[in-house]
């Protein structure tokens, strides 16, 4: 707790700590990691999560394409956020969010766009997508008074 001085010089207690955008971004990064580990699709007793899906296969729509796994892309985006500390510029949050939600979004677009029956979608991809969206939302949420002039200046 610190002291902030208002009108008349009287001190009032203020609480120092993480702001809303930090909590949102941390929650989004955690949700994206959980979504990457959980199954994205389950059929006939077999399941696949983001670490079983190739990123190039999602981008090019070719199932046999090799490259980094989608789970690694999500994991690295979430770790990049967590390792960069509390106060990040908005552009870095947007970059981490795009990398976190991109694989899940591409997977869901491919899954819904495929012809035939849509069976076996599991909870992982929607959770990873939601985590990336929350992480991106954090870029647009600022702590109270940050970057905005006050309507009521103190003396």
Q: What is the pLDDT of residues 119-149, one digit of tens each?
A: 788 999 999 999 889 888 877 775 444 544 4
Q: What is the pLDDT of residues 89-109, one digit of tens each?
A: 777 777 878 888 889 999 998
The dihedral built from the CA positions of residue 32, 34, 35 and 37, taken in this order, carries a sign that is positive
The residue length of the chain stands at 155
Q: With 0.75 as the threshold, say if the pTM is over it.
A: no
E-strand ranges in the chain read: 2-5, 11-14, 41-43, 46-48
Q: Are the beta carbons of 129 and 107 closer than 8 angstroms?
A: no
pLDDT at 87: 60
């Amino acid at each position: 707790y610190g002291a902030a001085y208002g009108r008349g010089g009287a001190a009032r207690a203020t609480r120092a700590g993480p702001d809303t955008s930090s909590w949102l971004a941390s929650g989004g990064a955690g949700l994206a990691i959980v979504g990457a580990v959980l199954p994205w699709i389950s059929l006939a007793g077999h399941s696949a999560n983001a670490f079983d899906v190739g990123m190039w296969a999602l981008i090019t729509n070719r199932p046999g394409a090799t490259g980094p796994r989608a789970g690694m892309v999500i994991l690295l985006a979430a770790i990049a956020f967590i390792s960069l500390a509390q106060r990040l510029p908005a552009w870095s949050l947007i970059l981490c969010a795009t990398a976190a939600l991109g694989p899940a979004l591409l997977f869901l677009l491919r899954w819904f766009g495929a012809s035939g029956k849509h069976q076996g979608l599991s909870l992982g991809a929607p959770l990873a997508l939601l985590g990336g969206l929350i992480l991106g939302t954090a870029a647009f949420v600022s702590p109270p008074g940050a970057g905005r002039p006050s309507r009521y200046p103190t003396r």
